[in-house]
Structure 1
Amino acid sequence: MEHLLRRRPELRLAVFSARTIAKETIRFEESAEPELAAGHALVRVHNVTLCGTDLHIWEDDYPSELPIIQGHEFSGVIEAVGPNDAGVRVGDQVAVSPMTYCGECRPCRTGRPNVCRNIGCIGCYSDGALVEVLSVPLEKLCPVPAGLPLHLAAMGEPTSIAMQAVNRGRPEAGEVALVLGSGPIGLLATLYLTDLGVRVVCADTEVDRLELATEFGAVDTLLVTPGAAFPDPDQESRLAALTDGYGPQLVIEATGVPSSLENAIRLVASAGRIVQVGISARQAAVSMKEIPFKELDLMGSRNSLNLIPDGLALLAKYAQQAQALMTHRFAFEDLQHAFRLMQDHTEKVGKILIEMPASRQARPALDSSAAERATSGSRP
């Protein structure tokens, strides 16, 4: 990759991209910079963060076709833009909404484009942000709030997904919510619920994730031991004390593990709400008794209803917590190593930040706790 970063003089306007061409195989390419089209802006990408979907695409275990340039969580700076009524100017810092909708199907017509039957996503179904410069429709640009570091703005998209799940659950201040799973989505949901005045209890199988959940506002945490009864008697007593013995009014299931949904149905209060945001192809054994007897609202949640601006505002308000999510960073040319790390379940991984060449002059500093877990881009 280093030889590619030394641009050839005859390709002064060339840009570099990382294309996933086959299972677990990335090829760095050089191509002409995109032309500025009407209604679009050219965004110089500074930061990309990776999620589980990116790993599945790289592993060729996702309903997208290879080859593809990945990257759907990203932020950058406006490189070029024509006259426009949106107030977009060269030099603006932006995050980007990657979802595309048809606008014509029934979900779109009824205000639910996040489940459009023809939904698309740059970086998942079409070429995305692991490229130096990308052409983006103006309506997909989300200004970065003042004071929010540009590298944290790359997490606007996953934050919007967590907020969508929370909003689906119709939370009310003073309620108790149980969040099952303290990965990035679960933690961001915890942060948002706490901001709304909800008391949150978090459950996870990893102690370090639960420690982070406390930093994100959880009033209590429950360690799940695989294969053991959950909750154990002590945990059951603590949960009962918080909920007057009724159980949590809202449960956010953010793991995708079948037994976790089964736990949600068992633990939620009567007349409570469950939001399933964790995704899995596995089958859950759902009680056909408890759902009607408790008269539960069981809801799914996918993508978001254009909540990235709201997500950026939340990240700006809680930048310290957002920074703690970023446990690793890699240089663009070390992208393959980043995916290998995601495959390695022996190391604790939160969000992985990919630093594009444009970001090198202002390398973000990880906080002290995250730095202890951080991996530099030069490490395999």
Structure 2
Amino acid sequence: MLSAITISKETIEFRDSPEPILQPGHALVRVHNVTLCGTDLHIWEDDYPTELPLIQGHEFSGVVEALAPGDITEQGISIGHRVAVNPIIYCGECRPCLTGRYNVCQNVGCLGCYSDGALSELISIPLDKLCAVPDELPLDIAAMGEPASIAMQAVNRGRPEPGETALVLGSGPIGLLATLYLTELGVHVICADTEQHRLDLAVEFGATDTLLVTPGSEFPGTHQASRLNSLTGCYGPQLVIEATGVPSSLENAIRLVASAGRIVQVGISPRQATVSMKDIPYKELDIMGSRMSLNLIPDGLALLTRHPGQAQTLMTHRFDLKDLQQAYRLMQGRTEKIGKILIQMPAASSA
């Protein structure tokens, strides 16, 4: 089978790899679609805590090609069914796992990030990680079930209530999907980003107001602060979702959130933030991290199914597997307006 292997920094090699052997309790999935995210770019740039060479790809969908005799899944998934996949690998024995928080397992892994993933024609997947794709959801869009689940995990961590106002910092794919979900929950959403075209998308995803951030300038500016006060009754948003990973953005979240408010940090960065040691206790803030999701991919697929227009809008670029290097160059260069990039595997091209 054909596999795309990141062998070293910014270097991909296409190899004819052995097909996986079918094991009891696993399914062989013919991969049709893989979407890329910032983590994939960092791995390709060899700027991520994982070892190369590696077959990348953790956001994907495909079709079940084989099951071991007698194997069945709780969802009734069988040969020929369309699936998305939960890529999280966890031990089941550490304290987080035993308390139901396996997404932050002390030994957590992820297909395509720490072990070989989906940029290969066939992959072996444990049955309990298969997620049935709704009949009305296109299989290419289903590859975004994983990022949708990340956005939903972040929102759920924030305990939103209908009628509240939330500020979403960053209108990339996670911020947009969080906006979509918050809007469904009856939350008024304000989105902030440095790119106007992303804020225009945020309105399509349900934002009631937007704030354009000018890099290097004070945020919010005088006019923006007045708008925020008007929209929040001068109290500030009750919930802030930080989806950029930029240190100053977390600092802004702490400064802008209402007293007794909640902040969810879902953007990831190795950089250091300078936070106020006064605002956190004075406001009695809840500051929470959010990583991957607690098996929310079926919920993410359902979210995408309910909003087909937004889902299609989010998928801005498509490449065949042979052009994977070009896709990473596009992400790296930031010369175009990019939402999600889809890699079409050979099975999708021939379907």
TM interval, short-chain normalised: over 0.9
Identity score, percent: 75
* 2:99 alignment partner in structure 1: 110
* 2:51 alignment partner in structure 1: 65
Q: Is the partner of 2:17 in helix, strand or coil? A: strand
Equivalenced residues, count: 348
Q: Is the partner of 1:68 in helix, strand or coil? A: coil
Question: What are the within-5 Å matches in structure 2 for residues 281-296 of structure 1?
Answer: 281-296=270-285
* Residues 1:276 and 2:265 aligned together: yes
* 1:100 alignment partner in structure 2: 89
* 1:357 alignment partner in structure 2: 346
Question: 1:327: how far off?
Answer: 1.0
Of 21, 28, 52 in structure 1, the residue corresponding to residue 7 of structure 2 is 21
Question: 1:33: how far off?
Answer: 2.0
Distance in 1 (CA, whole Å) between partners of 2:201 and 2:2 is 36
Of 53, 56, 72 in structure 2, the residue corresponding to residue 85 of structure 1 is 72
Q: Is the partner of 2:338 in helix, strand or coil? A: coil
Q: Is the partner of 2:240 in helix, strand or coil? A: strand
352-361 or 235-244, larger mean C-alpha shift: 235-244
Amino acid paired to 1:88: I
Q: What RMSD over aligned residues (CA atoms) do the two structures have, in Å?
A: 0.9
Q: Deviations over 1:142-179 (max 9, x none)?
A: 00012010001001111111111100000001100000
Q: Is the 8 A contact 1:46 1:76 kept in 2?
A: yes
Of 184, 187, 206 in structure 1, the residue corresponding to residue 176 of structure 2 is 187
* 1:220 alignment partner in structure 2: 209
Q: Is the partner of 2:4 in helix, strand or coil? A: strand
Distance in 1 (CA, whole Å) between partners of 2:269 and 2:124 is 32
Distance in 1 (CA, whole Å) between partners of 2:219 and 2:44 is 34
Distance in 1 (CA, whole Å) between partners of 2:143 and 2:97 is 26
Q: Is the 8 A contact 1:81 1:88 kept in 2?
A: no
149-158 or 76-85, larger mean C-alpha shift: 76-85
Question: 1:239: how far off?
Answer: 1.4
* Residues 1:30 and 2:16 aligned together: yes
Of 31, 37, 41 in structure 2, the residue corresponding to residue 45 of structure 1 is 31
Structure 2: which 5+ residue stretches go unaligned? Answer: none
Question: 1:32: how far off?
Answer: 2.7
Q: Is the 8 A contact 1:158 1:185 kept in 2?
A: yes
* 1:124 alignment partner in structure 2: 113
Distance in 1 (CA, whole Å) between partners of 2:325 and 2:343 is 11
Structure 1: which 5+ residue stretches go unaligned? Answer: 1-14, 363-380
Question: 1:111: how far off?
Answer: 1.1
Distance in 1 (CA, whole Å) between partners of 2:186 and 2:128 is 32
Q: Deviations over 1:236-265 (max 9, x none)?
A: 122112211111000000001111111101
Give TM-score scaled by structure 1 length. Answer: 0.90
Q: Is the partner of 1:134 in helix, strand or coil? A: strand
Amino acid paired to 1:126: S
Q: Is the 8 A contact 2:170 2:244 kept in 1?
A: yes
Question: 1:67: how far off?
Answer: 0.6
Question: 1:31: how far off?
Answer: 2.3
Distance in 1 (CA, whole Å) between partners of 2:350 and 2:273 is 48
252-261 or 339-348, larger mean C-alpha shift: 339-348
Q: Is the 8 A contact 2:59 2:145 kept in 1?
A: yes
Moved over 4 A (4+): none
Q: Which fold has the larger relative contact order, with Cα–Cα distance below 8 Å and residues 6 or more apart in sequence?
A: 2
Q: Is the partner of 1:285 in helix, strand or coil? A: coil
Distance in 2 (CA, whole Å) between partners of 1:170 and 1:297 is 11
* 1:157 alignment partner in structure 2: 146
Q: Is the partner of 1:32 in helix, strand or coil? A: coil
